[in-house]
Structure 1
Amino acid sequence: MSIPFLKDDPLPTGAVEELGRPGGVRLRRIRCGNPGPFTFLGTNTYLIGEREVAVLDPGPEDAAHRAALRTALGKDRIGHIVVTHTHRDHSPGAAALKALSGAPTYGFGPHQTPPDAELRGGDHDFIPDRRLADGDLLEGAGWRLRALHTPGHCANHLCFALEGGGVLFSGDHVMSWSTSVVSPPDGDMAAYMAGLARLSAREEQLFLPGHGAPLPDPAPFTRALLAHREAREAALRAALQQHGPASVEALVLRLYSPIDPRLLPAAGRSLLAHLLKLEAEGAARRMGEDWAPA
C-alpha cells in the first residue's frame, strides 16, 4: 500500500497558522526554522486555547522561534507547557518558556536512553513538573487533552487527543511527510507498530503532527504506515532466508536501495529494530555481527 505523504507545507517559518476552533478551542501552529532530513521543514509548535494557553512541543532552544511564539501569543499567557517526547527538536525550548512564564511542564517523564546509546540526540535535561501516564487528562481554560502513551519512536512518546474536538496531536508517531525513525534501544518496533494500530482505530478526523502539514482523514494514512512496516518486515524475512547470514549494513543496501546517503544510518537503525522484533518473536537470530533466520 502506498503512503500518500504530504510533501508540501506552505506555512512560512515563524508565521502563525490558524487551525480553527474544533470543539470551541482555538488552535494555532508555528513552525520552527530547524529544517533537516529528520525534521522536514521544521518542528511544529501548537498553541491550544486562548487567554491562558497550552504550548505543545516548544521545539529546540531557538531564540527566533521563541520570539515568534511570543508574537503569536499576543496578550495570551502560557499556562501549560506540554511535550510529546524528549528529542532535541521538541523539548529543549521548554526551559526558556518556563523561565519566561512560570508555567509548569508536562510529559511522560525524562529521556530513558543513555546518550551513548542513541542515533538521535535525546534531551536529558528535560524533567516534567508533572508526569502524564496513558489515559491521564490535562485540563486548561476551555480545553481538555487526553494523554496516549505511544512508545516506539521514543520510549516516552505521548500523543494528545483534544477531547470534544476530533483532533489528535500525533507528535512524531504519525507524521504527514514521512515515516518515523525507530532507533533501538529507545525505539522499539513492536511498540511502534502496536501504536500505529491503536491510532488507526481512533475516531479523530485530524492529526496534527510534530513535523509537516496537518493530516486530514488520518485513519487510512495510519493504516498505510502500518502496512508499510509489515511489508518491510516481510521483505526482511525473505532477505534473511535468501541471503543470510547478513549484516545490518548489507540488509539495508538490499532493502532500501536507492536511498539518500544521509538517511542510511537511520534506515539501519529502523532495520535493526525490525530484526530485534523478529528475534523476540523467534523468527531471527544473531550470529556475531550478522543476522540469520531462526
Structure 2
Amino acid sequence: MTDTQGQAQDDPSFDAALPVSGVPERISPLIRRRICPNGSPFTASGTCSYVVGHGEVAIIDPGPADPDHIAALLEMIAGERLAAIVVTHTHRDHSPGARLLQARTGVPVVGCGPHVAARALGEGETRLDAGADPDHRPDRILTEGERLHGPGWTLEAIETPGHTMNHLAFSLPEEAALFSGDHVMAWSTTIVAPPDGSMRAYMASLDKLRERDETVFWPGHGGPVRDPRRFVRGLSAHRRQRETSIRGRLAAGDRDIRAIVAAIYQGLGPGLAGAAALSVFAHLEDLVERGLVATDGSPRLDGVYEPVGAAG
C-alpha cells in the first residue's frame, strides 16, 4: 500500500511506474523476470517471479497458485535445469506456486520456513492477515548466511522478519543485487499486520538492510529499488514520521484506530482503509510495548489507546 501522506524530507521517492505483467524479460545478465498477472492495489502489477542463472537456475517466488504462470516460468527455462525453488515468505501471492512448480518438476522448495505469527492471538482476537499461506512446507529452511550455488551465481539468505516473521531476502553477490521480497519495494510501503507481522521486527530489518552494500534491490512487486541505502533510510524516516503522527493524534484526543486513520490518511480510497488500520495497529502495538502508549490489556484492533507522556 502506498503511504505518502505528510512525507518528510528524507522519505523515499516511490516509483509509480509499474512493469508490465505476463511478459518474460531479461532484466540483468543473470536475472530474468516474469510478473504474474495478479495485479491489485496490494500487489502492484502482480507478483515478480525471478529466474536466476543460466543452464542451471533457481526460481524465486513462483507466486500464487496460477497454473498458467507456472507453465510460463517453465517455458522460460526450457532446456535448462531447475536446481531450486526459492520462497521469500508465506503469503498467498508468493508461495503457493512453489507447490505447483514442484509438482511439475520434483525440484526441492527451499527458503523461508512455515508461516508463523509474531505473537499468540489475544483474547477474542482473530488472525488479521488473510493472505497467509499455512500450507507451505519447504524441503529445506534457509537461515541467515546460508547459500545456494549454481554456475556463476550465489544466493545468500538474509533474515528480514517484520512483514512476515519468516521473511527472507536473498543477496546475489555476483551482481551486487538483493531480492528484497515484500520487505522493501519501490512502488509502495509494506503492510505490517499483527499478529502475523511485527513493526518492531520490521524496523530492525530495515536497519539491517540499510547497512548492506547492494546497489539494486529486486522486490516482490513493482520495479527495482535504485540507490537502496538512501531509499531504505527514507522508508525508516517515513515510518518514524507515521509513528509521530499517531502519537500526535492521541495527544489531540483520538482514542481508537478508526479515528486515527481518518485523520492521518485523508483522501485514502475505501478499499485501502483496512490496510491503513492494520498499519496503525502495528505502530500502536510497538508503542505499547515501548511504554509510550497505554491500552487496557493487550493491544487490539478495536482497542482504546491513550498517550503516555508528551507526543514527540
Q: TM-score, normalised by structure 2?
A: 0.89
In the alignment, is the contact (CA less than 8 A) between 1:15 and 1:68 conserved in 2?
A: no
Tell me, in whole angstroms, the C-alpha distance in 1 between the residues paired with 2:261 and 2:279.
9
In the alignment, is the contact (CA less than 8 A) between 1:77 and 1:101 conserved in 2?
A: no
Tell me, in whole angstroms, the C-alpha distance in 2 between the residues paired with 1:253 and 1:9.
28
The count of residues paired between Structure 1 and Structure 2 equals 288
**SS at structure 1 position matched to 2:229:** helix
**What do the CA deviations read for 1:97-139 (whole angstroms, capped 9, x no partner)?**
1111111111221011489512332111111100111222222
> What does residue range 91-240 of structure 1 map to in structure 2 within 5 Å?
91-113=95-117, 116-240=126-250
Match of 1:77 in 2: 81
User: 2:291 is aligned with what amino acid?
Assistant: G
Worse overlay, 31-40 or 217-226: 217-226
How has the CA–CA distance of structure 1 residues 180 and 284 changed in structure 2, closer, same or farther, with 3 Å as cutoff? same
Matched, 1:291 2:300: no
Worse overlay, 224-233 or 127-136: 127-136
In the alignment, is the contact (CA less than 8 A) between 1:106 and 1:128 conserved in 2?
A: yes
**What do the CA deviations read for 1:129-186 (whole angstroms, capped 9, x no partner)?**
0011122222223311111111111111000001232000000000111000000011
User: 1:223 is aligned with what amino acid?
Assistant: R
Tell me, in whole angstroms, the C-alpha distance in 1 between the residues paired with 2:272 and 2:281.
14
- Alpha-carbon RMSD across the aligned residues, in angstroms, is 1.5
Match of 2:291 in 1: 282
Match of 2:274 in 1: 265
Match of 2:22 in 1: 14
In the alignment, is the contact (CA less than 8 A) between 1:166 and 1:205 conserved in 2?
A: yes
User: 1:291 is aligned with what amino acid?
Assistant: Y
**SS at structure 1 position matched to 2:174:** coil
User: 1:55 is aligned with what amino acid?
Assistant: I
Tell me, in whole angstroms, the C-alpha distance in 1 between the residues paired with 2:139 and 2:233.
34
In the alignment, is the contact (CA less than 8 A) between 2:215 and 2:227 conserved in 1?
A: yes
User: 1:87 is aligned with what amino acid?
Assistant: H
**What do the CA deviations read for 1:259-289 (whole angstroms, capped 9, x no partner)?**
1111111111111110011111100011472
Tell me, in whole angstroms, the C-alpha distance in 2 between the residues paired with 1:210 and 1:253.
29
Tell me, in whole angstroms, the C-alpha distance in 2 between the residues paired with 1:199 and 1:51.
30
How has the CA–CA distance of structure 1 residues 84 and 54 changed in structure 2, closer, same or farther, with 3 Å as cutoff? same
Tell me, in whole angstroms, the C-alpha distance in 1 between the residues paired with 2:281 and 2:306.
13
In the alignment, is the contact (CA less than 8 A) between 1:40 and 1:211 conserved in 2?
A: yes
Tell me, in whole angstroms, the C-alpha distance in 2 between the residues paired with 1:204 and 1:73.
26
Worse overlay, 280-289 or 226-235: 280-289
**SS at structure 2 position matched to 1:259:** coil
Tell me, in whole angstroms, the C-alpha distance in 1 between the residues paired with 2:147 and 2:70.
27
In the alignment, is the contact (CA less than 8 A) between 1:83 and 1:106 conserved in 2?
A: yes
User: 1:207 is aligned with what amino acid?
Assistant: F
**What do the CA deviations read for 1:55-85 (whole angstroms, capped 9, x no partner)?**
0000001122112112211211211000000
Q: TM-score, normalised by structure 1?
A: 0.94
Tell me, in whole angstroms, the C-alpha distance in 1 between the residues paired with 2:177 and 2:280.
31
Tell me, in whole angstroms, the C-alpha distance in 2 between the residues paired with 1:7 and 1:64.
27
Tell me, in whole angstroms, the C-alpha distance in 2 between the residues paired with 1:50 and 1:95.
23
